[in-house]
Each structure stands twice: as C-alpha cells, then as structure tokens.
Amino acid sequence: MLSSIVISSRIRLARNLYDLPFPNKLCDFESASNVSKAIFEILGEDYEYRRLKNLSNNQCLLLLESHEISKELIGNKDIAGYAKSPDGQITIMINEEDHLREQCIIKGFDLKRCYEKISKIDDMILDRIDIAFSKELGFLTSCPTNVGTGMRASVMLFLPALTLNGAMKQLIESLNQNGITVRGLFGEDSSCSGYFYQISNKYTLGLSEEDIIEMVEKNVKKIIEMEETARKTLQSVNESVIIDMSYRAYGILTNSYTISTEECLQLLSKLRFGIVLGLVKFKNPSIIDELYTNIEPAHLMDYYSLELSPKEQGIFRAKYIYENLENKLIKGV
C-alpha cells in the first residue's frame, strides 16, 4: 500500500568533535579519517561503511538520489564517509557540514520512535567521543542555525489536494511564522515538486528535543487534517477530474518517447493521488514509490549499465517507466 499523506519521519542530529576544526576548515586528512575510524569502532561490524573517495561519481549520485547522503557530503568527497545500519534506517554522514550527521528515517508518522533510535546511537557516540558542547548554548555546530540541540525533526508529506486547491502558499507562510520550515523532496534548497513537502523545525536553540518534536508533530497533525478536508472537498466536487488527471498522467508516463525527471515526478504524483484516494485501481502500487528514485539519472544508468547523455536519459527513462508501469492500471468506466 502507498502511504496516503505521511511518507516518512526523520530525526537528524548534528555533532562535532571537540578537538577538530569544522569540516570546511579540515585540511588535515589524517584527523578527518580518524573520525571515520572512531565511528567504525563505536558502531561495530554490522554497519556498512563507505569512504566517498573510494566511490565513483555515479556511485555517489546513486546514494544522493536514494536520499542516503547529501550534496554537501559529495562536496567534501576527499574527507567524507558514511555509515548505514543493517535495516537502513540509521545513517551517519561523516565530515559533511558537521563532523557527524546522525539520522534515523522510518516510514510513517513517528518522530518519537526516530528520536529513541537515533538517541541510542548518539549516546554511544557521546560516551566514547569528546563532542563539542557548551553549557550555555548546547551542541556547537558549523552553521549557527543548528547550534543547541543540533536537531532537525522532519516529516515528509504528500499534499496534492492542498497544492491543487492553491492553499499551499499561504500555509507555508503561516508555518514559517510558527517556526516551521517547508522544503521539497530533496531537502534544503529544493523546491516542492510532485506534491511532496518536508515539514521541519526552523530553530534548534532555546527548545528541548522533546519540545521540537512536539511542535513539529502538532503542526503536521494540523496539516494532515487540512489535507484530508481538502481531499474530501475535491472529491465531492471534482471526482471525475481527479480520475481523468490520474489516467492521463498514466497515459503520458507509459507512452512518452522521452521524459524529464521533473515531469516524471509530477506525473507519478498525479497518478499516485488517484490511487491513494481509491479512485484509480492499480496492480502493485508500491512500484510507484520505487519509481520516484529509480527514474533519477544515476539509477537509470546503473540499471541499464550505460553512460547516458541527458538526451539518452530522457529516452531510457521513458522506456524504463513503460517497462514498469505498462498494464498496471485497471480501468473501469
């Protein structure tokens, strides 16, 4: 089944070693690699470890497209690394903007469980490594916006109805005034696309971890209610318009000769909306959520084992979508 509104919850903690310059000033490669080694010793052999300098550009892009690492981490390729838990929920980026970016992502709406899970790891790290901490300010971070708890609590939401009825602009402004930041599918600097919005706390200072989680949860619950109301209204007024929109999106997805990533995201989300409302019947709907990642450039090239120019990517993307979605929509007038 596809999640109807809440896609995933995520807690991220920013930490830095007390006796090391922040990564952007870290020219001493030995010290940099000592961070990785320390993490390796703490987390043990169950975790998967990677040094980015040992990866090809395409391998790095694969991880980026899968939301496992960030653009900033790739920017620090020479000193950067990452560790991933066996279940994939916990990842630690090493020498990103901060020495450590510990995060836990789980499906659905449960920030508290995310926090519990990542706290266990964080406690192990705090026990063994001397982390930069000020009694007055809290955890010290490379960017002042993370000082304090160093925590970002975020929830990824699918908000087609609030987008289609034009309510998002005003909602984002009002959330901003309440200390909530709204971002797109690809985190910071990414614009909202395919009806996906990442809701997170704007401030990390002056609030406890529990306060932050409670504040984000409260706002997310309010947004979920608004989206549910907007969906009901849309369905009662325009049900056939939504079916038509979903069907056409499917028609273009499965018949285009060439298609861009961005257009593909938009169309997948139009199709997704019809499915989660139960208006469009679909065999194996979970393939839709897999496609969001699999149609990205590095994933396509990896799948076809080919270096593809942007023009070729468009053609192979269309081919890939056709192969995965053809004959999956079940029609009935």
Region of 44-52, 105-113, 256-264, 281-289 interacting with its own copies (CB under 8 A): 256-264
Taking the least distance from each CB to its own copies, the nearer of 161 and 329 is 329
Question: Residue 330, interface with its own copies (CB under 8 A)?
Answer: no
Question: Residue 31, interface with its own copies (CB under 8 A)?
Answer: no
3-state secondary structure the chain: CCCCCEEEEEEEEEECECCCCCHHHCCCHHHHHHHHHHHHHHHCCCCEEEEHHHCCHHHHHHHHHCCCCCHHHHHCCCCCEEEECCCCCEEEEECCCCCEEEEEEEECCCHHHHHHHHHHHHHHHHHHCCECEECCCEECCCCHHHCECCEEEEEEEECHHHHHCCCHHHHHHHHHHCCEEEEECCECCCCCCCCEEEEEECCCCCCCHHHHHHHHHHHHHHHHHHHHHHHHHHHHHHHHHHHHHHHHHHHHHHHCCCCCHHHHHHHHHHHHHHHHCCCCEECCCHHHHHHHHHCCHHHHHHHHCCCCCHHHHHHHHHHHHHHHHCCCEECCC
Question: Residue 262, interface with its own copies (CB under 8 A)?
Answer: no
- Count of residues engaged in binding its own copies, rule: CB under 8 A: 21
Question: Residue 6, interface with its own copies (CB under 8 A)?
Answer: no
Taking the least distance from each CB to its own copies, the nearer of 169 and 311 is 311
- Shortest Å distance, C-beta 108 to its own copies: 31
Question: Residue 190, interface with its own copies (CB under 8 A)?
Answer: no
Question: Residue 236, interface with its own copies (CB under 8 A)?
Answer: no
- Shortest Å distance, C-beta 258 to its own copies: 5
Give the contact letters, 300-329, x = binds to its own copies (CB under 8 A), - = no: -----------x---x---x--x------x
Question: Residue 88, interface with its own copies (CB under 8 A)?
Answer: no
Taking the least distance from each CB to its own copies, the nearer of 1 and 333 is 333
Taking the least distance from each CB to its own copies, the nearer of 27 and 241 is 241
Residues that bind its own copies (CB under 8 A): 240, 243-244, 247-248, 250-258, 311, 315, 319, 322, 329, 331, 333
